[in-house]
Amino acid sequence: MTPLRTERLILRNWEERDRELFHRINSDERVMEFFVMRRHRAESDAMMDWIAAGIDRNGFGLAAVELADSGEVAGFCGLHLTNNIPGVADGSIEIGWRMAPEFWGKGIAGEAARAWRDFGFDHLGLDRIISFAVAGNHRSTAVMRRIGMTARPEHDFDHPNVPDSHPELIRHVLYEMLPGDPRS
């Protein structure tokens, strides 16, 4: 992909030097509070390779978020093709984010998400972008609202990949944005 630039960030495909950070955001208890899966290093490496290949293929994906001034990578943010989400056609585009905790509370996820939102509507010509999260993941739904997305409670759903052993992680809320919606 051609990297996207914002005021503070470079959104780009993954590089070898990112593997440690990528593993940390897939195994850290705070970051993964709303996910069942914790990935070992080998699983995390395989996931990074899978995401990187998708970015090469599609020109977008869950890209690395690099701070332009320091070169540090904070986490990932990007557009992703959905699969197996109840009430959502496979191949619909969602926007998602995951940052290491030391980069929370600085507006980094929001800044990256706005760039991907604009890329989706203005470059890819998408007619809808969705996002979803565990109902209690208020930090994530706050990002959705901050960038101009709207809750669509009629489309909230029980995630089919969450096992009954984690009932608190099953219910998901869905937000959406259309091209003409106000961008904030």
Q: Is 146 in the site for ligand COA (CB under 6 A)?
A: yes
- Cα separation, 111 vs 53, in Å, equals 24
What residues between 68 and 97 interact with ligand COA by CB under 6 A?
Answer: 75, 96-97
Percent of the chain as helix, strand, coil, to the nearest 5: 35, 25, 40
- The CB-of-134 to ligand COA minimum distance in angstroms stands at 7
What tokens appear for 28 in the block?
Answer: 């850290």
Closest to ligand COA by CB, 79 vs 109, is 109
Q: Is 143 in the site for ligand COA (CB under 6 A)?
A: yes
- The CB-of-109 to ligand COA minimum distance in angstroms stands at 3
Q: Is 21 in the site for ligand COA (CB under 6 A)?
A: no
- Cα separation, 85 vs 131, in Å, equals 11
Q: Is 177 in the site for ligand COA (CB under 6 A)?
A: no
Closest to ligand COA by CB, 57 vs 145, is 145
- The CB-of-133 to ligand COA minimum distance in angstroms stands at 4
**Which residue among 1, 10, 31, 170 contacts ligand COA (CB under 6 A)?**
31
Which of 9, 2, 129, 135 is closest to 58 using CA atoms?
A: 2
Residue nearest to ligand COA (CB): 107
Strand ranges for the chain from DSSP E:
4-5, 9-12, 62-67, 73-81, 93-99, 129-134, 150-151, 157-158, 171-177
Q: Is 104 in the site for ligand COA (CB under 6 A)?
A: yes
- The CB-of-131 to ligand COA minimum distance in angstroms stands at 7
DSSP lists the bridge partners of residue 93 as 81
What tokens appear for 61 in the block?
Answer: 């994906």
Give the residue ranges of DSSP H helices in the chain. 19-25, 41-58, 108-118, 138-146
Interacting residues toward ligand COA by CB under 6 A: 31, 34, 75, 96-99, 104-110, 133, 137, 139-140, 143, 146
